Structures are given as structure tokens and as C-alpha cells.
Amino acid sequence: MSAPAAPVDEAALRARLAAVPFARFFGVDLELRGDELTLVLPYRDALVGNPVLPALHGGVVGALLEFAAVMTVGLRLGQAQLPKTIDINIDYLRSGRPTATFARAIVTRQGRRIASVSAEAWQFERADPIAALHGHFLLTPE
Amino acid sequence: MTTDPPSLGEIVQAMIDATPYARALGLSFVSFAPARVRMRAPYRPELVGDPESGVIAGPVITALLDHVCGAAVMSAMPVRQSVATLDLRIDYMRPAAVGRGVLAEAHCYKVTRSVAFVRAVAFEDDPEDPVANATAAFMIASDGGRRPGANLKPSR
């Protein structure tokens, strides 16, 4: 793997995420340790999709996975603009409990125009994911 | 004085209102036909994904499609049971029009004992000019069939 175009620090990446109005509304944050990017979603009652269980909304888990994919592509490529989603395929593996959720993504293939990305979300244990995403993202021409 | 029973639309809207995330996004019920449900996500500044263009965020469309698919599954079942998304695939064809709400219509075209299959499309005016398409599978009775005696049923 080649190094990113320019070193990116956590504060710069967080500012980029916070520039997205929906990211602020959603309440998602990130942590960058070395080259490992983790998206963090603290629990809020407004994220619930099934109040009886209770469980996080499928759209919440999907959004977190998509943020992980988009931000990871943005980090790896050092592009000014975040990539655009072409398609996503989400497997829901277990219901999201009312607690903090984390997500990480890996770029499985990066072409000239398209990046192929996999992401996983988990809550209590990294090895026990609650959902997985695979998707394709359109890279914006520089 | 008598009170009319709630309409199906009122029931679906009440189910949206009872779902915190759907309420937070401002999702609303639009129309209903057997196994088909139509909902709307509003255009709001806080739901924007690209501050330069003002286009609504993809994850808002994802949530709308997931929710309308779940509602279509519920509407297709004879008895009310809880459902849970098993998988969801979305193709994003184009950005949604800036400043406009997005509609989504889902059709639950097959229900088996454990799984329901759904298609959905998101658009502004014309389903033939989609913003996004979704296909999804849902588990029915998300207790996973773990009721007493469930293991004694003959398998098919």
C-alpha cells in the first residue's frame, strides 16, 4: 500500500467530517490512530428503530458504515472532495443495541475512477460485528 | 357520538411517530396499497450531505428506503409481527434535487414463513426517473422463531 498523498491528522479529518451537515445531525465522530480510522457513534434515543427491543434503526447502522467507507477512501486518497456512493450492500448480522457503535473500512480495490470498499460495524467486540457493508464509490476527478 | 377507527394511513403514520429515528428524520406516510407503501423524507438543511451542492445525504435516502421497505413487509403480512432487515442493497443513480423532499415506494412482492422480499425506488416526481433503487430481505418475527416448540415444527 502506498502512503496517503499527504499526512492527515485527526483534527483535519474531523473538520472534514463536521463540514457535512448530516454528519453533525447524526452525531458521528472519528478517531485516527496511525493509519487506522474508526468512526464512532455514541448512543442516543433518537437513533432507535425498534423501541420494543430496543434496537438501532437499520438506516443508522447503514449510515455509520457508509461514513466509514467514504471517510476511509477520503483518507487513503487524500482527495479534497469525498467520494460519491454508487452502490452499497449491507448485511445486518445482529440487532444494534442501545450503546456506542464503531465502524472501520478497508479499500479492497482502488482504480482510477472507482474504489471498492468493505466496512464492518461493531459494538462490544471488534470480532463480533453487527453489520457489514460492501460498496463502490466514485472518485472525484482532481 | 362515535369515533371512526383509524385509517391505514393513520396507523402507518403512528408507527413512524413511534420510531425515534424515523421521527428525527421527519419521515412521513404518503399512501398505501396492498403490500405497497409510499413515504417521504423532507428536505432539511441539517440533512444535507454535500454543503457545496446542498444535496441531501445518501444515508438519509438509505434510512427512508430501509424504513419504507419494512413498512411494506408489515403491510403484506396477515398478522402484525416484528421484522428486521437482513440485507439491503441500494444503487444510487443520481443526486436528489436540491430543496425538494424525496419520495420512496416499496413493494413487498414475496413473503415466506421466515423471510420477506422487497423492492423500493426513491424519486421526486416520477418513479421512472429514480434517485435510488433498493432491494431488501427482511426476517419476519425477529425473535428468530425461538418461541416454545418452534424447534418441533416439521421443516419444509
With CA atoms as reference, report the closest residue to B69 among B106, B30, B32, B36. Answer: B106
Cβ separation A24–B142 shorter than 8 A: no
Contact with chain A for residue B101, Cβ under 8 A: no
Residues 31 through 50 of chain A touching chain B, CB cutoff 8 Å: 45-50
- Cβ contact B71:B88 at 8 Å: no
**Torsion over CA: B21, A53, A100, A93 (sign):** negative
Report the alpha-carbon distance of residue B32 to residue B30 in Å, rounded.
Answer: 7
Contact with chain B for residue A15, Cβ under 8 A: no
pLDDT digits (tens, 9 = 90+) for A66-94: 999 999 999 988 767 889 999 999 999 99
Name the pLDDT band for A7 (thresholds 50, 70, 90): low
**Torsion over CA: A104, A105, A106, A112 (sign):** negative
The ipTM (two decimal places) reads 0.92
For residue B22, give the amino acid letter: A
Name the pLDDT band for B145 (thresholds 50, 70, 90): very low
In chain B, residues with a C-beta closer than 8 Å to the C-beta of A57 are: 19-22, 63, 66-67
The grid coordinates listed for A86 are 454508487
Name the pLDDT band for B7 (thresholds 50, 70, 90): confident
With CA atoms as reference, report the closest residue to B44 among B65, B31, B32, B28. Answer: B28
- Conformation bin of residue A31: beta by default, left when phi > 0, alpha when psi is -120 to 50: beta
> Residue B92's closest chain A neighbor by CA?
A86
For residue B6, give the amino acid letter: P
Rg (CA), chain A: 15
